[in-house]
Structure 1
């Protein structure tokens, strides 16, 4: 039985560059009948243009599995750290973080 478990393992390589991660404070999700596209964006205060930092394309089945995994992890996080507070309304555009625009 132990040999069978070893055969089912997947060796995943994580490069140093990818391990650093990418910060995103906005995600835009679109879909077609065959795929879900998640664009991760970084919006900076006082900067009128944001840039997509990463785009992930998923099959509908994998998108649903990701949703389930996210829900499970959020429940575990909130059990330890308390409820995550969210705004009732999504932020409007442009997102200037409530402060004045930057000046040079």
Structure 2
């Protein structure tokens, strides 16, 4: 059978709905995992409240988590090179 020529890769066209484009402010994140997936919950905790609301839940496979971790490390290193090191302790450090 003859090889069928592969069409050139077209650039990925990403759509961004207006509601998603506005973004969500969060000040807490929780990460859970099973053997096959990671669940990232992004939460907004209001001051002096006993309840908090999950603003977004993202479910990823482990390979995508690894890629996300690597790109976040690169981005953070670039940020700290420009603006100085960040101290992860103290107020606003609610990450599990």
Aligned to 1:77: 79
Aligned to 1:87: 89
Residues in 2 aligned to 1:41 and 1:79: alpha-carbon distance in whole angstroms: 28
Q: Within 5 A, what are the aligned runs for 1:33-44?
A: 33-44=35-46
- Counterpart selection for 1:11 from 10, 13, 33: 13
Structure 2 unmatched ranges of 5 or more? 1-6
Over aligned residues, Cα RMSD in angstroms? 1.6
Q: How many residues align?
A: 86
Q: Within 5 A, what are the aligned runs for 1:39-78?
A: 39-78=41-80
Structure 1 unmatched ranges of 5 or more? 92-104
Q: Residue 13 of structure 1 aligns to a residue in which SS?
A: coil
- Normalising to structure 1: TM-score of the pair? 0.77
**How far is 1:8 from its partner?**
4.1
| Moved segments of 4+, more than 3 Å | none
The CA deviation string for residues 23-76 of structure 1, in whole angstroms up to 9 with x for no partner, is: 110000000000000000000101110011100000000000000010000000
Residues in 2 aligned to 1:58 and 1:46: alpha-carbon distance in whole angstroms: 32
Q: Residue 42 of structure 1 aligns to a residue in which SS?
A: strand
1 or 2 for the larger relative contact order (CA 8 Å, sep ≥6)?
A: 2
Residues in 2 aligned to 1:27 and 1:75: alpha-carbon distance in whole angstroms: 20
